[in-house]
Amino acid sequence: METPPRWSLEPPVTPATAPVPPPPADAFGRRRRSWIREKLGALGALVVAFFAKFKAILLLLPKIKILATAGSALVSVGAYSLLWGWQFAVGFVVLLFIHEMGHVVALRREGIKASAPMFVPFMGAVVWARSLGDDAVTEARVGLAGPVFGTAASAVVAIVGLATGTGLLEALGYIGFFLNLFNLLPVVPLDGGRAMAAMAPWMWFVGFGALVTLEFVTPNPILLIICLVAAYDLYHRWQKRRSPTAAQTAYYRVSPRNRMLVAAVYLGLIVVLALGMHFTYIHRTIA
């Protein structure tokens, strides 16, 4: 006697719907390790891509610095053009650049990293460095290098202007001589104050007094800023000299020979710059 078929609500079992037996225990481990390896590989790719981009940025940094210098120079040219016209402004910024490059060359000769010159309209230009050297003689050399380069550039412009009778070049030579002479005032942060570090630091007070007097005679906001910076720097330097450490004493220890050399360059620059201003001065009368 045949047994009647048993009806079920469950779907028939076929190869497609057959339940998959659970994988052995080690298959879970293999699958987990594969997943982790996948994620780590993706993370590694991201890290490599990041450092590739970072390297590209590092390679571009020198170009960015050059662009920053060029951009600040163009801004300064535009600002000075409002006062003197673009031709004089271009020449003026070039003279500032040569002056600052004197500091850059001197710093790099001493093995100190220095930035490219950055221009600040109506304030001149600046160069950034971690230090100005290990002793006062090095600081003096770095400080005087700017006026040496600037005086040479101004002299070339002035000589060409006098030889050709070009008033624009004579005026540029005159302003170049004047700015370099002003920078030789014996007070920090001006270049003359750097030179005094190796000669007679007490002259900082004389230079500061001259700056303050000049500000009272011809009030000027830029000169006022220089006075404030000079007062701050002078106070801190003199405080250190009043209670010197061994390092401070060593810093300001200068041999008589080096003292004489710095003095000769400093005084020689003053004479050359004063004569340059005399020969390039153009007297004008207003009708």
CA–CA dist 106, 104 (Å, integer): 6
**Of 228, 182, 199, 80, which is closest to residue 139 (Cα–Cα)?**
199
Report the pLDDT averaged over residues 32-49: 54
CA–CA dist 149, 154 (Å, integer): 9
Percentage of residues in the chain having pLDDT higher than 70:
75
- 3-state DSSP assignment of residue 129: strand
Yes or no: say if 227 and 212 are a contact pair by the CB < 8 Å rule.
yes
Which pLDDT does position 286 carry in this prediction? 46
Yes or no: say if 184 and 262 are a contact pair by the CB < 8 Å rule.
no
Which pLDDT does position 57 carry in this prediction? 42
For 13-72, give the DSSP string.
Answer: P-TTTSPPPPPPHHHHHHHHHHHHHHHHHHHHHHHHHHHHHHHHHHHHHHHHHHHHHHHH
Question: Which of 61-70, 241-250, 262-271 shows the lowest mean pLDDT across its residues?
Answer: 61-70
Burial readout 171-184 (b: 16 or more C-beta within 10 A, e: otherwise): bbbbbbbbbbbbbb
- Read off the pLDDT of residues 163-185 as tens digits, 9 standing for 90 and up: 998 889 999 999 999 999 999 99
Element (DSSP H or E) covering residue 125: strand 124-126
When pLDDT is cut at 50, 70 and 90, the band that residue 58 belongs to is very low
**Of 151, 109, 153, 98, which is closest to residue 132 (Cα–Cα)?**
109
35 pLDDT more than 60 = no
Question: Which of 12-16, 206-210, 224-228 shows the lowest mean pLDDT across its residues?
Answer: 12-16
Mean confidence (pLDDT) of the chain = 79
When pLDDT is cut at 50, 70 and 90, the band that residue 56 belongs to is very low
Q: What is the DSSP letter of 174?
A: H
6 pLDDT more than 80 = no
The pTM of the full predicted model, rounded to 2 decimals, is 0.72
Torsion from C-alpha of 69, 74, 75, 80, nearest 10 degrees: 120
Angle CA(199)–CA(239)–CA(194) in degrees, nearest 5? 30
Yes or no: say if 102 and 150 are a contact pair by the CB < 8 Å rule.
yes
**Of 163, 171, 153, 154, which is closest to residue 84 (Cα–Cα)?**
171
